[in-house]
Amino acid sequence: MSASPSGRGGSKIDEYSTEGKLEGSFERKAYGEHESFDYRALAVDPAGNIWATDQHNYQIDEFSPKGTFIAAYGTAGSGQKEFNGPDGIAIDHEEHIYVADINNHRILELSTTGVFIREFGFQGRECQINGGCAWWF
């Protein structure tokens, strides 16, 4: 099973078989102050749980293999478990989650229970003679 955001951004997630056949979709429902979602990337852990980066709400969301919402991790900011543009996500064989936090120019490593482990990268800037600048992490 694999999953992907339905289009670029939004609250709908599509599930596919290993053969690439669309098997179903689910959508995160609005709650409290969170009326919309902007899922950019997904990862599936060894248990089949689906993890999604939500740029609009500065968090990552966890769903069961059937699409039931389990938990949200993170808030806006630049500290531990804070995001400013969570865009990419991956899970390693030890079930550590790596989140590309693009506007903070770093990768955050978290456990599957949302515990901060460490971060990689730093905010940097390189300017060329012509005045153009590039950011990296």
Element (H, E) at 137: none
Give the pLDDT of residue 34: 63
Structural domains present in the chain:
2-134 (2.120.10.30)
As a whole-number percent, the residues of the chain with pLDDT over 70 amount to: 76
Give the pLDDT of residue 19: 87
H helical segments located in 1-132: none
pLDDT band at 33 (very low <50, low <70, confident <90, very high): low
pTM: 0.77
pLDDT band at 91 (very low <50, low <70, confident <90, very high): very high
User: What's the mean pLDDT when you consider all of the chain?
Assistant: 81
Higher pLDDT, residue 37 or 97: 97
Higher pLDDT, residue 57 or 127: 57
Residue 33: is it exposed, middle or buried by C-beta count within 10 angstroms (0-12/13-18/19+)? exposed
> Which sign, positive or negative, has the C-alpha torsion 127, 118, 99, 29?
negative
